[in-house]
Structure 1
Amino acid sequence: MRKVIGVFVLFVSLMIISGCGTTDKNSTTTNIDDSKWKDVEESGKLVVGTSGTLYPASYYPEGSDRITGYNVEVIREVAKRLGLESKFEIMSFDSKMAALQSGRVDVVMAGPRDESKEKFNFSEPFKYSYSTMIVRSEDHSGIESLEDLKGKVAGGAATTVYSDIARKYGAEVKTYGNATNDVYLRDVANGRTDVIINDYYLQSLALKAFPELDIELHPDLKFHPQTVSVVTPKEDQILADKIDETVKEMKNDGTLTKLSGEFFGGQDVSQEIKDDIKEIEGIE
């Protein structure tokens, strides 16, 4: 039985908004290798790379062996509408793109960067968000601006945009494996690290799970708007087109809004954010 604390691992890859072109999901595309789609269709399964410890995006509820979460239920519904079962492979963020490129999995869920857009297709985003910081409540860990990150220690994974932001402003990044969020949060609270930069929605939910810790979301800093999409290898264009069209259908018929409400306390993460969010030059 899998037993995972209902909290999230803070190394989600969420970057700038990007979408793919679409075709009718029942149509064929000329001059494109459709072998991947044929293989997936023949197998009847869509293999998905996901963390399994990322509450509320991808996690095992306490006492359950069935993976769930917003990302998981989105891709589960996509697969269902394409006539497929979904099979989930558990892996850390830092290994997801390599697993996708090697063919170990058919899709992952992440946000685009310029270099990744050259190798992968990104569907219509199914989640919009921005970055915030978790800091100590008593003094905001000495951080009142992004520039104050200089000399601080930030908890994160090696290859996320959040770690890129921390390094850009002079912070040292303390890296973790596929750890649950309590490890990250307790390190900030006890002073082993100073800050966690990550997704607003995920961090706000994580804090609710640990009210005893003297930490909080920074009240003044909102930056780096970002999205999450379904990702496929560049050469798998027919599979990508079918997924993209299905995600759009789910957005239009209200399915994404319904799923978001279930996992994000009634908030709709499937809609673009209208707040004034600071862009960071040089960070994708």
Structure 2
Amino acid sequence: MKKRIIILCSLLFVLVLSACGASEVKEGHEQAADDKVWENIKETGKITVGTSGTLYPASYYPEGSDEISGYDVEVVKEIAKRLNLEVEFKTSDFNNMLASVQNGRVDLAANDIGITEERKEKFAYSEPYKYSYTTMIVRKDDLSGIESLSDLKGKKAGGEATTGYSKIAERLGAEVVAYGNTTNDVYLRDVDNGRTDLIINDYYLQSLALQAFPDFNITIHPDFKFDGSANAVIMSNDASELKKQVDKVLGEMKEDGTLTELSKKFFDGADVSKEPEEDIPSIDELVQQQEDEAK
């Protein structure tokens, strides 16, 4: 009996050691993956960044220039500079941008990318460097026939197929007219000429778009302001060391005023690096509010 107890205890001890060993091996693999991403960047001395090059003022080519610029672009350039790295931008539409992060074609992506719970399951985010909220561009003369959110049913909303903004439009019953990696003027002109009825997007981007195309019959709908947002650099989940380095530099840039300076340069004097002071309702709260008012 004593011998059997000793054998059982020995087996349990071996199992505990095996479990600990497996845990250590798993942790070691995860750490190795983390190190591999960052070590590769340090070895090459270069960081590759996915962006669109068509989203003013986040990522675009200034008229007459072949050098990409914009708020997000210049933030990343400064991050790279402080990490003693060169930076290479690879332009694509939003879907391919995220796919490139996942397959390692780029190290990170920066393109006015909102932080969402759904994306957190697949990607890692840096600390935010832009805060905003969602608004809706419509035709100026008749607000595209939209007086309440229920009026979006059957309307046509311009956007990229899988963005959060397009998902909001679909949820509210609009038909999404999908575009590829195209410039702002194409989206805006289509609302102006009636091919589409609205564009749901970021408030600051839409405000500057209106300034850029004053002859278009478009405006920001005065009654809809919702879903406060935070935007950040997006990376693969196995790039924790890269995230650590990026977060450290972003903290320094926020502290020394660099983010504020860049923001004011690209957003007509506004400081998007700080959260809005006003209380912005979520889309759920706004829908509920309109439903209550309709009763």
Q: Which interval holds the TM-score relative to the shorter structure?
A: 0.7 to 0.9
- Bigger fraction of residues in helix: 2
CA distance in 1, matches of 2:43, 2:146: 54
CA distance in 2, matches of 1:105, 1:251: 25
1:42 maps onto 2:43 in alignment: yes
One-letter identity of the residue aligned with 1:173: V
- SS of alignment partner, residue 232 of structure 2: strand
2:119 aligned to 116, 131, 141, which one? 116
- The Cα shift of 1:114 comes to 2.1
Structure-1 residue corresponding to 2:141: 138
- Residue by residue over 1:148-195, the C-alpha shift from the partner in whole angstroms, topping out at 9 and shown as x without a partner, is 211111011100111111011100000011111111111111111110
Structure-2 residue corresponding to 1:102: 103
- The Cα shift of 1:147 comes to 2.1
- SS of alignment partner, residue 129 of structure 1: strand
Structure-1 residue corresponding to 2:180: 177
1:281 aligned to 276, 280, 284, which one? 284
Structure-2 residue corresponding to 1:149: 152
Which blocks of at least 5 consecutive residues in structure 2 are unaligned? 1-26, 286-295
- The Cα shift of 1:245 comes to 1.4
| Alpha carbons of structure 1 residues 146 and 276: separation in structure 2 relative to 1, 3 Å | farther
Structure-1 residue corresponding to 2:192: 189
- SS of alignment partner, residue 105 of structure 2: coil
- Residue by residue over 1:102-133, the C-alpha shift from the partner in whole angstroms, topping out at 9 and shown as x without a partner, is 11000002222223212211111000011101
CA distance in 2, matches of 1:116, 1:218: 28
Structure-2 residue corresponding to 1:201: 204
CA distance in 1, matches of 2:245, 2:149: 40
CA distance in 1, matches of 2:146, 2:258: 39
> Given that residues 32 and 238 in structure 1 are in contact (C-alpha distance below 8 angstroms), is that contact kept between their aligned partners in structure 2?
no
- TM normalised by structure 2 equals 0.83
CA distance in 2, matches of 1:94, 1:81: 29
Structure-2 residue corresponding to 1:240: 243
One-letter identity of the residue aligned with 2:31: I
- The Cα shift of 1:144 comes to 2.1
The alignment-based identity, stated in percent, is 59
CA distance in 2, matches of 1:146, 1:78: 40
Highest RCO, 1 vs 2 (Cα 8 Å, sep ≥ 6): 1
> How many residue pairs end up in the alignment?
254
Structure-2 residue corresponding to 1:32: 31
- SS of alignment partner, residue 138 of structure 2: strand
- SS of alignment partner, residue 131 of structure 1: strand
CA distance in 2, matches of 1:142, 1:70: 34
Give the aligned CA root-mean-square deviation in angstroms. Answer: 1.5
One-letter identity of the residue aligned with 2:276: I
One-letter identity of the residue aligned with 2:152: L
Once structures 1 and 2 are overlaid, which stretch shifts more, 145-154 or 40-49? 145-154
CA distance in 1, matches of 2:253, 2:31: 26
Which blocks of at least 5 consecutive residues in structure 1 are unaligned? 1-28
- SS of alignment partner, residue 69 of structure 2: coil
- TM normalised by structure 1 equals 0.86
Once structures 1 and 2 are overlaid, which stretch shifts more, 155-164 or 31-40? 31-40
Structure-1 residue corresponding to 2:86: 85
1:252 maps onto 2:255 in alignment: yes
- The Cα shift of 1:243 comes to 0.5
- Residue by residue over 1:10-53, the C-alpha shift from the partner in whole angstroms, topping out at 9 and shown as x without a partner, is xxxxxxxxxxxxxxxxxxx9862311111100100010000011
CA distance in 1, matches of 2:215, 2:170: 29
One-letter identity of the residue aligned with 2:283: I
> Given that residues 223 and 279 in structure 1 are in contact (C-alpha distance below 8 angstroms), is that contact kept between their aligned partners in structure 2?
yes
Max Rg structure: 2
CA distance in 2, matches of 1:202, 1:260: 12
- SS of alignment partner, residue 279 of structure 2: coil
One-letter identity of the residue aligned with 2:241: I
- SS of alignment partner, residue 281 of structure 1: helix
Structure-1 residue corresponding to 2:24: none
One-letter identity of the residue aligned with 1:149: L
One-letter identity of the residue aligned with 2:154: G
